[in-house]
């Protein structure tokens, strides 16, 4: 076992699913470090999770958006990944010179990640880890690590909100809005409330709850949450994007949204 708490342990599951995707001939991205970071604990979870396209689809969406945002001449050079988990974009995406990637997550997860990455090639940007509890004063930890709220930021909050209670989701996006200078971007994803209520989701939801990583938050319309906090919002339906990649089942099932917000 990884020794991580169950929610932190889901970062090993998503890494294992990225590793699985990277081995496909028709892969949507290549994450060569995912297998190292997932380990046996991640692979065992992925085995139990079975086939599901959501992680590969959302990874591809965020990769494309990050390339577009950071590739623009005047794009942010400061990236923050709250709940970075075993994300390896600091190693595998070609960020422009002078970029810094702050990875915030639980101290024990970042400790494990850094020890495993000691075997990896160098990052493509300055990678700074920020051990923090996202339910506590993480902005102070981010500032202490060198983050500047005066500069535009690209935030990536991937695969987190479903694990939080609604007041914690609202507080997270309040804080992100407070720290986002003009020219900032926010990438994130939400499962839909309909998915949480759908009887067909029960086996998956019960399985996550049984392993101590219950899903709590979902919304069918994430737009107000972000527009009320000063963002312009572009929503992409998870299933539609998945189908455009040929990776989503045809039957109509509630999914969620991929979000690109900017100011």
Ligand X SMILES: C[S@@+](CC[C@H](N)C(=O)[O-])C[C@H]1O[C@@H](n2cnc3c(N)ncnc32)[C@H](O)[C@@H]1O
| Contacts to ligand X by CB under 6 A | 7-8, 10-11, 14, 83-87, 105-106, 109, 133-135, 158-160, 163
Closest of 61, 81, 64 to residue 236, by C-alpha: 61
Considering only CA atoms, which of 244, 234, 5 is closest in space to residue 112?
A: 5
Work out how close the CB of 250 gets to ligand X at its nearest, in angstroms, rounded to a whole number: 26
Nearer to ligand X, 128 or 160 (CB): 160
Closest CB 108 distance from ligand X, rounded Å: 9
How many other C-beta atoms can be found within 10 angstroms of the C-beta atom of residue 216?
Answer: 14
Which C-beta is closer to ligand X: that of 181 or that of 214?
A: 214
Task: Tell me whether residue 243 is exposed, middle or buried, using C-beta atoms within 10 angstroms of its C-beta: 0 to 12, 13 to 18, 19 or more.
Answer: middle
Q: At its nearest, how many Å lie between ligand X and the CB of residue 73?
A: 28
Give exposure, 229-238, as e/b (b: 16+ Cβ within 10 Å).
Answer: bebebeebeb
Cβ-based nearer residue to ligand X, 39 or 183: 39
Sequence-ordered list of residues with C-beta below 8 angstroms from that of 49, at least 6 positions apart, any chain: 13, 17, 207
Beta carbon nearer to ligand X, 84 or 101 = 84
Q: Which is nearer to ligand X, 126 or 171 (CB)?
A: 171
Which residue of this chain has its Cβ atom nearest to ligand X in the complex? 85
Query: Smallest distance, Å, CB 158 to ligand X?
Result: 4
CB atoms within 10 A of CB 87: 27
What is the smallest separation between the CB atom of 71 and ligand X, expressed in angstroms? 21
Which residue do the tokens 């923050």 mark? 80
């Amino acid at each position: 076992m990884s020794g991580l708490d169950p929610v932190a342990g889901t970062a090993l599951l998503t890494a294992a699913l990225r590793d699985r995707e990277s081995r496909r001939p028709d892969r949507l991205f290549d994450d060569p470090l995912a297998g190292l970071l997932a380990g046996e604990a991640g692979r065992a979870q992925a085995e139990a999770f079975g086939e599901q396209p959501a992680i590969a689809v959302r990874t591809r969406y965020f990769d494309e958006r990050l390339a577009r945002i950071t590739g623009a001449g005047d794009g942010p050079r400061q990236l923050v990944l709250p709940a970075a988990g075993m994300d390896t974009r600091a190693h595998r995406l070609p960020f422009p010179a002078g970029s810094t990637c702050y990875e915030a997550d639980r101290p024990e997860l970042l400790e494990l990640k850094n020890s495993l990455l000691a075997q990896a090639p160098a990052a493509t940007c300055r990678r700074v880890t920020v051990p923090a509890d996202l339910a506590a004063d993480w902005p102070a930890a981010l500032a202490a690590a060198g983050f500047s709220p005066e500069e535009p930021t690209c935030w990536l909050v991937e695969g987190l909100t479903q694990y939080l209670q609604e007041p914690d989701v609202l507080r997270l996006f309040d804080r992100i809005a407070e720290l986002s200078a003009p020219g900032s971007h926010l990438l994130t994803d939400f499962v839909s409330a309909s998915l949480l209520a759908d009887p067909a989701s029960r086996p998956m939801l019960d399985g996550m709850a049984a392993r101590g990583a219950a899903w709590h938050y979902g919304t069918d319309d994430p737009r107000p949450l972000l527009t009320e906090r000063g963002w312009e919002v572009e929503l992409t339906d998870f299933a539609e994007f998945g189908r455009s990649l040929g990776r989503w089942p045809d039957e109509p099932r509630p999914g969620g949204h991929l979000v690109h917000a900017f100011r």
